[in-house]
Amino acid sequence: MSVDQRPADTPPADAPQAAPAPSEGVPAQIKLVLGVLLVAAFVMILNETIMGVALPELMEQFNLTAATVQWLTTGFMLTMAVVIPMTGLILQRFTTRTVFIAAMTLFTVGTILAASAPVFGVLVAARVIQASGTAVMLPLLMTTVMTFVPADRRGRTIGFITIVIAVAPAVGPTFSGFILAQLTWHWMFLSVLPIAVLGLVLGALKIQNLGETRPVKFDLLSALLSAVAFSGLIYGLSSIGEAAAGAHTPIPPYAAITAGAVSLALFVLRQLRLQRTDSALLDLRVFRSRSFTVGVVMLLISMAALFGSLILLPMYLQNVLELTTFQTGLVVLPGGLAMGLTGPTVGRLYDKLGPRPLVIPGSFGVFGALALLTLLDQASPVWFVVVIHVLMSLSLSLLMTPLMTSSLGSLKMELYSHGSAVLTTLQQVAGAAGTAVFITLMTTGTKESLESGAGVVAATADGIHTAFLWGAGMAVIAVAAAFLVRKPAVDGQEPALAAH
């Protein structure tokens, strides 16, 4: 309904929208906002994963070493780690429309700058600008769903978010491999630019202000501690694999991890003090919810397994089975598509059955897939890898939508933005940790096999076997935790673990 057609008692178009009751459907305005947010998030996450295949070409064009060109992905990841913890405060202080336009503007400007970058330094700066916008989008999307979608419809809605989270990373390497086979690396950015501009225009025209803002104080010390803590942890964990392989890292991994851990401890103490006056940068009272805490633990294990397998499978396919980069992208594509396309179905099942009937078989499936990955060797057929990866992806689909929905749904409404920020931040840390653990175990196993006289290919296969074996052991924790998951109460709340 247009503004000049509304009845006299209808609020203005830019007035905050009220959250619907559980028995109501999703209002058309909320559907429109969610649609625009989903498209924007898909483009942003796709952009996050397209650079890996292009790094060799960029090394040649800019005459760079592998350690230097890696800053295109490292810089993006570190920026995400710095910005995401602040989104809890950002989403409370500013309106949905303001946050969306700011995020899409940053992403669009970064994309234009990257597509026209004359030197490597400009390209890195462009990636940082892109990451600044990307970091806000998923928490904004999750908070909008939790605030404005009725509790009995959240599962299917978050199922669509699973498409974004799963399909975009799966499509990224295949998409960039296709682009690079035909065009220059500039087209990786030019091809997503029209969609980014369209999303920005649609958002500016169609998105109204949802919810109410409040003047939350900004604590500079918390922001600084958060930046050092999460960037230190993610950088350090991400560098462990490189150091284990003998590569030089600008900052020793354990120094970065130590600085990050100390800063994190100080950050937690600071938040516990500030949340007494509702002025914390990241409100840690979300962990008083049992469902949130259990869900976060399971999501961390799942994300570690996902990122660990995503980094090792391409190595296995290229270094052991000797497939090309493009063939590797095609092998992992069915799993990503299966995970994303089953998201809405899993969401509808969650709305009917609750999380436990989905999470328990999902956790067993992840364990089974990791156990099957230990069987891979030099003679394994490619179809077997595809089947295992599809099993892993379907199992993760059974986990992610129910865990995100039940975790955030167990919180009080005023903690949704903080819960989304915590969840997204820790997923970044878990991804870095999973990559570090799997790469370190693979490197150690490969080195031991080489020392025992095995050939390079056979030793690499042995190292990957060792990593997946430990990964299957990690998955046992998720299987045990799955039996503790429960659906939040009908109103989306549950009793806290401790009194407020």
If one counts every other C-beta atom within 10 angstroms of the C-beta of residue 333, the result is 18
In the prediction, which pLDDT does 493 show? 47
Would you state the torsion angle of the CA atoms of residues 458, 463, 468, 474, taken in this order, to the nearest 10 degrees?
Answer: 160
Whose CA is closest to 420, among 238, 154, 235?
154
CB neighbour list of residue 131: distance below 8 Å, 6 or more residues apart = 48, 75, 76, 77, 79, 80, 83, 110
The more confidently predicted of residues 51 and 243 is 51
**Main-chain phi, psi angles of 209, to 5 degrees:** -75, 125
Binning pLDDT at 50, 70 and 90, where does residue 498 land? Answer: very low
| Mean pLDDT confidence for 198-224 | 79
Q: Kindly tell me if the per-residue pLDDT of 428 is higher than 60.
A: yes
In the prediction, which pLDDT does 140 show? 84
| Mean pLDDT confidence for 33-59 | 79
- What share of the chain in percent tops pLDDT 90? 11
Among 195-199, 339-343, 438-442, the range of highest mean pLDDT: 195-199
Integer Cα distance of 310 and 200 in angstroms: 31
**Main-chain phi, psi angles of 181, to 5 degrees:** -75, -20
Integer Cα distance of 496 and 304 in angstroms: 28
Q: Kindly tell me if the per-residue pLDDT of 465 is higher than 60.
A: yes
| Mean pLDDT confidence for 24-36 | 75
Integer Cα distance of 174 and 194 in angstroms: 20
Distances (CA, A) of 70 to 44, 77, 128, 174, 316: 19, 11, 13, 19, 21
Integer Cα distance of 475 and 99 in angstroms: 37
Integer Cα distance of 345 and 165 in angstroms: 15
Q: What distance, in Å, lies between the first and last C-alpha atoms of the chain?
A: 42
CB neighbour list of residue 57: distance below 8 Å, 6 or more residues apart = 180, 185
Binning pLDDT at 50, 70 and 90, where does residue 156 land? Answer: confident
Residue pair 110/193 in contact (Cβ under 8 Å)? The answer is: no
- Residue 58 tokens read as 């960029």
Q: What angle do CA 144, 499, 272 make, to 5 degrees?
A: 70
Binning pLDDT at 50, 70 and 90, where does residue 210 land? Answer: low
Whose CA is closest to 364, among 390, 332, 389, 399?
399
| Mean pLDDT confidence for 422-426 | 81
Amino acid at 25: G
Integer Cα distance of 136 and 186 in angstroms: 25
CB neighbour list of residue 310: distance below 8 Å, 6 or more residues apart = 169, 332
In the prediction, which pLDDT does 383 show? 92
In the prediction, which pLDDT does 204 show? 84
The more confidently predicted of residues 453 and 492 is 453
Which of 15-29, 157-171, 409-423, 433-447 is predicted with the least confidence, judged by mean pLDDT? 15-29
Q: Kindly tell me if the per-residue pLDDT of 117 is higher than 50.
A: yes
Integer Cα distance of 421 and 162 in angstroms: 17
Mean pLDDT, the chain, integer:
79
In the prediction, which pLDDT does 20 show? 47
Integer Cα distance of 399 and 358 in angstroms: 7
Q: Kindly tell me if the per-residue pLDDT of 17 is higher than 70.
A: no
Q: Kindly tell me if the per-residue pLDDT of 113 is higher than 70.
A: yes
| Mean pLDDT confidence for 53-62 | 77
- Residue 495 tokens read as 């009793």
User: What are the tens digits of pLDDT across the range 118-152?
Assistant: 888 899 999 999 989 988 888 888 888 877 778 77
Whose CA is closest to 300, among 415, 396, 235, 364?
396
The more confidently predicted of residues 43 and 20 is 43
Q: Kindly tell me if the per-residue pLDDT of 288 is higher than 50.
A: yes
Q: Kindly tell me if the per-residue pLDDT of 298 is higher than 70.
A: yes
Integer Cα distance of 339 and 326 in angstroms: 20
Distances (CA, A) of 288 to 134, 211, 411, 494, 497: 29, 24, 9, 10, 5
User: What are the tens digits of pLDDT across the range 230-250?
Assistant: 888 878 877 776 666 556 667
Integer Cα distance of 347 and 160 in angstroms: 8
User: What are the tens digits of pLDDT across the range 59-107?
Assistant: 778 887 666 777 787 778 778 878 888 887 788 788 888 888 999 999 9
Residue pair 97/203 in contact (Cβ under 8 Å)? The answer is: yes
Integer Cα distance of 92 and 310 in angstroms: 35
Which of 186-200, 266-280, 439-453 is predicted with the least confidence, judged by mean pLDDT? 439-453
In the prediction, which pLDDT does 136 show? 86
- Residue 331 tokens read as 């092998």
In the prediction, which pLDDT does 21 show? 46
Q: Kindly tell me if the per-residue pLDDT of 116 is higher than 60.
A: yes
pTM: 0.72
- What share of the chain in percent tops pLDDT 70? 87
